[in-house]
Structure 1
Amino acid sequence: MLALLTYPILTASAVQAQSIAEGQKLAFDRAKGNCLTCHVIKGGDLPGTIGPELSDLKSRYSRDDLIAIVSDETKRNPLTVMPPFGRNRILSEKEINAVVDFLQTL
Protein backbone atom coordinates (compact mmCIF):
# COMPACT_ATOMS: atom_id res chain seq x y z
CA MET A 1 0.00 0.00 0.00
CA LEU A 2 1.29 3.44 -0.93
CA ALA A 3 1.55 5.88 1.96
CA LEU A 4 0.45 9.42 1.27
CA LEU A 5 2.51 12.26 2.64
CA THR A 6 0.53 15.04 4.17
CA TYR A 7 1.74 18.59 4.40
CA PRO A 8 0.10 21.39 6.31
CA ILE A 9 -1.79 23.68 3.99
CA LEU A 10 -0.95 27.30 4.63
CA THR A 11 -3.53 29.91 3.77
CA ALA A 12 -2.50 33.06 1.97
CA SER A 13 -2.92 35.03 5.20
CA ALA A 14 -0.69 32.56 7.10
CA VAL A 15 2.00 32.85 4.42
CA GLN A 16 1.71 36.66 4.55
CA ALA A 17 1.97 36.69 8.36
CA GLN A 18 5.04 34.44 8.15
CA SER A 19 6.66 36.77 5.61
CA ILE A 20 5.88 39.85 7.74
CA ALA A 21 7.45 38.20 10.80
CA GLU A 22 10.54 37.27 8.79
CA GLY A 23 10.73 40.82 7.41
CA GLN A 24 10.60 42.32 10.89
CA LYS A 25 13.30 39.92 12.06
CA LEU A 26 15.52 40.97 9.13
CA ALA A 27 14.83 44.68 9.62
CA PHE A 28 15.77 44.49 13.31
CA ASP A 29 18.76 42.15 12.79
CA ARG A 30 21.95 44.20 13.28
CA ALA A 31 23.93 41.68 11.21
CA LYS A 32 21.54 41.44 8.24
CA GLY A 33 18.94 44.08 7.30
CA ASN A 34 20.08 46.47 9.99
CA CYS A 35 17.34 49.05 9.28
CA LEU A 36 17.46 50.25 12.90
CA THR A 37 20.95 51.64 12.42
CA CYS A 38 19.48 54.55 10.46
CA HIS A 39 15.70 54.50 11.01
CA VAL A 40 13.22 54.78 13.84
CA ILE A 41 10.86 51.81 13.58
CA LYS A 42 8.03 51.15 15.99
CA GLY A 43 9.04 48.26 18.25
CA GLY A 44 12.76 48.56 17.50
CA ASP A 45 15.47 49.17 20.09
CA LEU A 46 18.19 51.83 19.83
CA PRO A 47 17.16 53.32 16.48
CA GLY A 48 19.30 55.70 14.47
CA THR A 49 18.24 59.05 13.08
CA ILE A 50 20.17 59.24 9.80
CA GLY A 51 17.18 58.14 7.70
CA PRO A 52 13.52 59.05 7.99
CA GLU A 53 11.22 57.38 10.51
CA LEU A 54 9.65 54.34 8.89
CA SER A 55 5.94 54.78 9.46
CA ASP A 56 2.82 55.00 7.30
CA LEU A 57 4.81 53.67 4.34
CA LYS A 58 1.95 51.85 2.63
CA SER A 59 0.10 55.12 2.07
CA ARG A 60 3.20 56.90 0.72
CA TYR A 61 4.88 54.24 -1.43
CA SER A 62 3.73 51.46 -3.70
CA ARG A 63 5.10 47.98 -3.11
CA ASP A 64 7.26 48.35 -6.23
CA ASP A 65 8.67 51.65 -4.92
CA LEU A 66 9.59 50.05 -1.59
CA ILE A 67 11.26 47.11 -3.33
CA ALA A 68 13.26 49.55 -5.48
CA ILE A 69 14.27 51.60 -2.44
CA VAL A 70 15.46 48.59 -0.45
CA SER A 71 17.10 46.93 -3.47
CA ASP A 72 19.08 49.94 -4.68
CA GLU A 73 18.06 53.45 -3.63
CA THR A 74 21.06 54.84 -5.54
CA LYS A 75 19.06 54.44 -8.76
CA ARG A 76 16.49 56.94 -7.45
CA ASN A 77 18.84 59.04 -5.36
CA PRO A 78 22.55 58.83 -6.27
CA LEU A 79 23.49 60.79 -3.13
CA THR A 80 21.80 58.42 -0.67
CA VAL A 81 23.77 56.80 2.13
CA MET A 82 21.37 53.86 2.18
CA PRO A 83 23.12 50.60 1.26
CA PRO A 84 21.92 48.90 -1.94
CA PHE A 85 20.74 45.72 -0.19
CA GLY A 86 19.83 43.91 -3.42
CA ARG A 87 22.65 45.05 -5.66
CA ASN A 88 25.25 44.25 -3.01
CA ARG A 89 23.54 40.93 -2.20
CA ILE A 90 23.13 41.86 1.45
CA LEU A 91 19.55 40.60 1.16
CA SER A 92 18.14 38.08 -1.29
CA GLU A 93 15.08 38.86 -3.39
CA LYS A 94 12.97 36.75 -1.01
CA GLU A 95 14.37 38.64 1.99
CA ILE A 96 13.72 42.02 0.35
CA ASN A 97 10.11 40.98 -0.29
CA ALA A 98 9.75 39.94 3.37
CA VAL A 99 11.18 43.28 4.56
CA VAL A 100 8.76 45.12 2.26
CA ASP A 101 5.87 43.00 3.61
CA PHE A 102 6.88 44.18 7.10
CA LEU A 103 7.39 47.82 6.05
CA GLN A 104 3.89 47.91 4.60
CA THR A 105 2.48 47.13 8.08
CA LEU A 106 4.10 50.18 9.68
Structure 2
Amino acid sequence: MVIEWLKLRVSPELREKFIQKDAEIWTSMLAAYPGFLGKEVWIDPERPTEVILIIRWASRDAWESVPAERLKQVEQQFTQEFGEQQQIIEAAEYQVRKFPLASS
Protein backbone atom coordinates (compact mmCIF):
# COMPACT_ATOMS: atom_id res chain seq x y z
CA MET A 1 0.00 0.00 0.00
CA VAL A 2 1.11 3.55 -0.76
CA ILE A 3 0.08 6.66 1.14
CA GLU A 4 -0.20 10.04 -0.53
CA TRP A 5 0.22 12.57 2.31
CA LEU A 6 -0.66 16.23 1.76
CA LYS A 7 -0.53 19.11 4.23
CA LEU A 8 -2.51 22.16 3.19
CA ARG A 9 -2.92 25.64 4.55
CA VAL A 10 -6.52 26.87 4.62
CA SER A 11 -7.95 29.85 6.46
CA PRO A 12 -9.74 28.67 9.63
CA GLU A 13 -13.08 30.15 8.58
CA LEU A 14 -12.98 28.16 5.30
CA ARG A 15 -11.65 24.87 6.70
CA GLU A 16 -15.00 23.07 6.91
CA LYS A 17 -16.06 24.27 3.46
CA PHE A 18 -12.71 23.07 2.09
CA ILE A 19 -13.19 19.61 3.65
CA GLN A 20 -16.72 19.34 2.23
CA LYS A 21 -15.71 20.45 -1.27
CA ASP A 22 -12.66 18.18 -1.21
CA ALA A 23 -14.86 15.18 -0.42
CA GLU A 24 -17.48 16.18 -2.98
CA ILE A 25 -15.06 16.87 -5.83
CA TRP A 26 -11.69 15.20 -5.27
CA THR A 27 -12.58 12.13 -3.23
CA SER A 28 -15.56 11.20 -5.40
CA MET A 29 -13.39 11.41 -8.53
CA LEU A 30 -10.54 9.37 -7.03
CA ALA A 31 -12.98 6.70 -5.80
CA ALA A 32 -13.82 5.90 -9.43
CA TYR A 33 -10.29 4.57 -10.06
CA PRO A 34 -9.17 1.02 -9.27
CA GLY A 35 -6.58 0.92 -6.54
CA PHE A 36 -8.01 3.85 -4.59
CA LEU A 37 -8.46 2.44 -1.09
CA GLY A 38 -9.75 5.45 0.80
CA LYS A 39 -9.02 8.86 2.17
CA GLU A 40 -8.87 10.47 5.60
CA VAL A 41 -8.87 14.12 6.58
CA TRP A 42 -6.89 15.00 9.69
CA ILE A 43 -7.28 18.29 11.51
CA ASP A 44 -5.34 19.50 14.53
CA PRO A 45 -7.39 21.59 17.00
CA GLU A 46 -4.19 23.47 17.86
CA ARG A 47 -3.48 24.40 14.21
CA PRO A 48 -6.75 25.57 12.64
CA THR A 49 -5.01 26.64 9.42
CA GLU A 50 -3.75 23.13 8.57
CA VAL A 51 -5.53 20.20 6.95
CA ILE A 52 -3.78 16.90 6.32
CA LEU A 53 -5.08 14.56 3.64
CA ILE A 54 -4.16 10.88 3.78
CA ILE A 55 -4.97 9.06 0.53
CA ARG A 56 -4.46 5.29 0.45
CA TRP A 57 -3.62 3.52 -2.81
CA ALA A 58 -3.14 -0.20 -3.46
CA SER A 59 0.13 0.58 -5.27
CA ARG A 60 2.11 3.41 -6.79
CA ASP A 61 1.02 2.19 -10.23
CA ALA A 62 -2.62 2.54 -9.18
CA TRP A 63 -1.97 6.09 -7.97
CA GLU A 64 -0.17 7.02 -11.18
CA SER A 65 -2.93 5.49 -13.34
CA VAL A 66 -5.16 8.53 -12.77
CA PRO A 67 -4.76 10.46 -16.03
CA ALA A 68 -3.01 13.83 -15.74
CA GLU A 69 -5.71 15.44 -17.89
CA ARG A 70 -8.40 14.22 -15.46
CA LEU A 71 -6.45 15.64 -12.51
CA LYS A 72 -6.20 18.97 -14.32
CA GLN A 73 -9.96 19.01 -15.01
CA VAL A 74 -10.80 18.28 -11.38
CA GLU A 75 -8.34 20.91 -10.15
CA GLN A 76 -10.07 23.45 -12.39
CA GLN A 77 -13.49 22.39 -11.09
CA PHE A 78 -12.30 22.62 -7.48
CA THR A 79 -10.79 26.07 -8.08
CA GLN A 80 -14.00 27.24 -9.73
CA GLU A 81 -16.12 26.08 -6.78
CA PHE A 82 -13.77 26.80 -3.86
CA GLY A 83 -11.29 29.29 -5.24
CA GLU A 84 -7.54 29.32 -4.73
CA GLN A 85 -7.84 29.71 -1.00
CA GLN A 86 -5.70 26.73 -0.06
CA GLN A 87 -2.03 25.97 -0.50
CA ILE A 88 -0.17 22.67 -0.39
CA ILE A 89 2.67 23.31 2.03
CA GLU A 90 4.03 19.78 2.21
CA ALA A 91 3.61 16.55 0.24
CA ALA A 92 5.04 13.09 0.77
CA GLU A 93 4.69 9.48 -0.25
CA TYR A 94 4.90 6.58 2.17
CA GLN A 95 4.89 2.83 1.73
CA VAL A 96 3.07 0.75 4.31
CA ARG A 97 5.03 -2.30 5.40
CA LYS A 98 3.55 -5.08 7.49
CA PHE A 99 5.59 -7.81 9.08
CA PRO A 100 4.36 -10.97 10.75
CA LEU A 101 4.51 -10.96 14.52
CA ALA A 102 7.39 -12.98 15.93
CA SER A 103 6.42 -16.15 17.75
CA SER A 104 7.09 -16.12 21.46
| TM-score, reference length from structure 1 | 0.33
Which of these two proteins has the greater Rg computed from alpha carbons? 1
Higher helix share: 1
Looking at both structures, which has the greater relative contact order when contacts are Cα pairs under 8 Å and sequence separation is at least 6? 2
Higher strand share: 2
